Amino acid sequence: GRLNRKTLFSSDLRSQWVQQQLKTVWDNYLDGINFDIEYACSPSQKYFKKSYTALVKETSDVFRQMMPHTQISVDVIAEATSHYRAYDYQGLAKYSDFFFIMAYDESVHKVGPNSGYHAAHWAITSYLRHKIPASKLVLGLPWYGDLYHCSSFDGEHCMPHWSHPISQVCYCGIMNTLNSVPDNYRWNSSSQTPYFSYKDGDKLYQIQYDNPESLGLKYKLASDMGIRGVGMWHIDCLDFSASDSAEKMRKSMFDPLPTWKEQKKDALKYVSEGDYASDVKDKFYSFLSPQDTVKQII
């Protein structure tokens, strides 16, 4: 259910909200609840952070009284050190089963990958360095892509037409378009993600997305780093019809998902302040530079 700030800041309204969610879960035979609160929160907004953590704790306490094996998860931004959403991550982790790291929407203000490899790597590393247990981290990856309207192209790089907003396109729709222009497929070796450009009438477009190859690399990354698992947003972006092509698509997307192993004991090596962690962060932030982005895509 939706949650406004007034409810978040009031203990009485929070209690009512929790009871409403419990009824929804109970009546629909669900196994838990997922929090996707994306309000801006600066480091100085201590009351906001305290209230959000209290909400997750109160929800967990009430739900587990009725359903001891319920699952409580929290969606989090792809960087634990963000000053834009400076939540109490350690408190949220304490009262939830796991974080779903939203490792996508990387290029909201520029043309670029939706979920680059180094960005995903840094997302995991930032939470480990924030002392969030690896066993409470799930890497969330996109089964959709971003459609950009281009005014022109500089080599392979789309010069965005910002009067048109970025559109999200499901993987099945992306494949339908790519099948009509297969020679336009490109691979970004820096972000380890695919993209392609095309023309429709007099309009120019570019789609940045993930496919089984790019997702497989990040699945392996998550497994190697010893975190809890991986997830996707969202599964309905596939074609679930009975056609042969739809079945082939589903198989290509589900097959790369790893069979998970127990979390590795050496996951803490990623939280050090040494060369490894710094190198990951440097690669991520260097890629965020618009100038570097153009160089890498071209």
Catalytic residues: 38
Cβ atoms of 121 and 284 within 8 Å: the answer is: yes
**Interatomic CA distance for residues 8 and 19, integer angstroms:** 14
Task: Describe the strand order of the beta sheet including 137-142 as a list of residue ranges.
Answer: 32-35, 71-76, 98-102, 137-142, 229-233
Would you give the end-to-end CA distance of the chain in angstroms? 44
Closest listed residue to residue 124, CA positions, set 295, 4, 276: 276
Cβ atoms of 13 and 7 within 8 Å: the answer is: yes
Closest listed residue to residue 121, CA positions, set 296, 291, 280: 280
**Interatomic CA distance for residues 242 and 220, integer angstroms:** 30
Closest listed residue to residue 140, CA positions, set 85, 255, 207, 222: 222
- DSSP-based three-state secondary structure for 190: coil
The burial of 109, by beta-carbon neighbours within 10 Å (0-12 exposed, 13-18 middle, 19 or more buried), is given as exposed
